[in-house]
Amino acid sequence: MQAPNELFARLAEGTRDFLAQARHRMLIGQDWTEAAEGGWLEVVNPADESIIARVPAGGAADVDRAVRAARAAFDDGRWSRLRPSERQRLLLRLADLIERDAQVLAEIESIDNGKAAQIARVVDVGVTVEFFRYMAGWATKIEGSTNEVSVPFMPRESEFFACTKKEPVGVVAAVVPWNFPLLVAAWKLGPALAAGCTVVLKPAEQTPLSALYLGRLIEEAGFPPGVVNIVTGDGPSAGAPLVAHPGIDKVSFTGSTEVGKLIGKVAMDNMTRVTLELGGKSPMIVLDDADPTLAAAGAAQAIFFNHGQVCCAGSRLYVHKKHFDRVVADLAVHADALRIGHGLDPETQLGPLVSREQAERVCGYIDIGRQEGARVAAGGGRADRPGYFVRPTVFTSETDALRIVQEEIFGPVVVAMPYDDIDEVARRANDTPYGLGASIWSNDLSRVHRLIPRLKAGTVWVNCHNVLDAAMPFGGYKLSGFGRDMGRQSLESYLETKSVIMAL
Ligand code: NAP
Ligand code: MG
């Protein structure tokens, strides 16, 4: 293990320059600005609890300025009526700049969120680059249709030309969480910008730094001012006035189901379009023909990736009783073997959770699990070191009727449960209010295909878990959300359809 000061000494020059700014400013129109009311939020490094920076505590006045900047940029057509090929070119240029600064962004993400920089470089930053490239391509492929119409109440000799046109929905409020700060911001910005929308982005208060760095790259790429605005601040002071602002045409939110419901209600008051990507309690189902060794390795990845702070984490593990003891034993070995450490340490596989509050919440659930009678097979609480580290934890239980089985924990905690037959497991897999992801582990094609339609989940993986792709829509059934991020479906949600009917 290396001391934090040694790790900081090896940061990329760009990261050091960025962090040398003790107070960051937010981007409104073409100005990098402080909050109108002058307040600041502390940004904490979860690996050692030190304050790494301060960002403006944005409020209603800042939100209003940002929405007006985005509105002006939308209404005057500097972005919405730019040639599609120009929008594509700028998005590709942004992707190139993110790729150029991949190490800096990965280090910023690591220091701010806690995750391992090496993983952040490949996943958070690498996937962001590819995602912007994928969405850049859509800018030049937006199309409506020509329609043959009948208009039965008009005289037979009348003729019509009818078509649909796609138009950008307008000004978008993008509100994002702290688990993948850069990547989830990209999930919103990519399709919005490809469609011709302008955006006000509000990053989570715990992890605002990569969004601010991205703002610099957006400027450098040459996007017109006002097309992307970034307001830092907390949910009640900045997020709430943003989503309720009458100048917003669409809200795209990723976060908790609780806040998502609030935002959905507020959006309905203004008829604001809304996409909600919310929580999950995703099952992983191991059939009796599966290889228990592969299933255990898969389960470890499904729950411990990003310290379990993944909305589609495989947090309920259903294993056929024939393999149960073996899979649990192997999974416990994987859990105990994960190297916990500072995100900047190249040896680290598991960093700290994002905040003290989150670590306490997760440990609270671990205590609840014990009280409810679940058995601890690995981990079981805080790691013995400063920072918000929680040990990867494996519970076993015979029953689903536990809070740790029903409620989203959003940490490195999995509950493994045995089952007897496939009807039983299909029913139990669906038995939570959520429906984001699910995975099936089996090579029996017939049974796999029969099980896929029975699972109420926005994504079903087979022999993998947490595999996402820019081309594949991602979102939830039931309380896991409304609408989809990624893929063509996401682009469509940033477009209005206009029907044009001409009497000839
Ligand atoms: P959260 O508390 O819902 O916060 C998400 C964002 O909403 C943050 O930027 C937050 O601001 C803001 N916010 C809070 N209250 C608000 C309000 N009243 N009006 C407008 N904005 C408000 O969620 P979180 O704790 O950051 O993230 C964890 C949750 O996100 C988990 O439930 C997880 O499952 C879910 N998630 C879902 C997906 C998905 O794609 N389905 C992906 C990742 C995470 P501040 O944090 O700055 O206060
Ligand atoms: Mg932080």
Q: Which of 42, 44, 259 to mutate to test the pocket of ligand 1 (most atoms within 8 A of CB)?
A: 259
Whether the pLDDT of residue 4 is over 90: the answer is no
The protein residue with its alpha carbon nearest to ligand 1, atom 31, reads: 256
Task: Find all residues with CB under 8 Å of 153, minimum gap 6, and list them.
Answer: none
Helix (H, G, I), strand (E, B) or coil at 443: coil
Q: Does an H or E element contain 336, and which?
A: helix 324-337
Which range, of 1-15, 29-43, 108-122, 157-171, averages the lowest pLDDT?
A: 1-15
| Maximum Cα–Cα distance across the chain | 84
**DSSP 8-state symbol, 493:** T
CA distances from residue 192 to 91, 333, 373, 471 in whole angstroms, order as listed: 11, 44, 47, 16
**Helix, strand or coil, per DSSP, at residue 204:** coil
pLDDT given at position 424: 98
Kindly report, residue by residue over 344-396, the tens digit of the pLDDT. 999 999 999 999 999 999 999 999 999 999 999 999 999 989 999 999 999 99
On the 0-12 / 13-18 / 19+ scale of CB atoms within 10 A, 155 is exposed
Q: pLDDT by residue (tens digit) across 427-482?
A: 999 999 999 999 999 999 999 999 999 999 999 999 999 999 999 999 999 999 99
- Residue 498, pLDDT > 80, answer yes
**What pLDDT is recorded for position 149?**
96
Which of 55, 258, 278 most suits a substitution to test ligand 1, by most atoms within 8 Å of the C-beta? 278
Sequence-ordered list of residues with C-beta below 8 angstroms from that of 225, at least 6 positions apart, any chain: 29, 30, 69, 73
For residue 205, the ligand closest to its alpha carbon is 1
What integer pLDDT is reported at residue 6 of this predicted model?
A: 84
Instruction: Say yes or no: CB of residue 330 within 6 Å of ligand 1.
Output: no
Model confidence at 495: pLDDT above 70: yes
Cβ atoms within 10 Å, residue 52? 16
The CA distance from 351 to 339, in Å, is 9
Q: What is the pLDDT of residues 270-288, one digit of tens each?
A: 999 999 999 999 999 999 9
Tens digit of each residue's pLDDT (9 = 90 or more) over 5-49: 788 889 999 999 999 998 999 999 999 999 999 999 999 999 999
Residue 419 scores a pLDDT above 80: yes
> What token pair was written down for 387?
């920072």
Per-residue confidence (pLDDT) for residue 208, from 0 to 100 = 98
Looking at the annotation, which residues are catalytic?
A: 277, 311
Residue 25: predicted pLDDT: 98
Give me the residue label for tokens 């003729």.
159
Q: How far apart are CA 2 and CA 345, in angstroms?
A: 7
Residue nearest to atom 4 of ligand 1 (CA): 255
CA-closest candidate to residue 311, choices 449, 468, 182? 468
- Mean pLDDT for the chain? 97
pLDDT at 453: 98
**What's the pLDDT at 1?**
57
Instruction: State the distance between the two ends of the chain, measured CA to CA, in whole angstroms.
Output: 77
pLDDT digits (tens, 9 = 90+) for 304-342: 999 999 999 999 999 999 999 999 999 999 999 999 999
Instruction: Say which ligand is closest to the CA of 357.
Output: 1
Joined together, the tokens standing for residue 354 give 């994002």
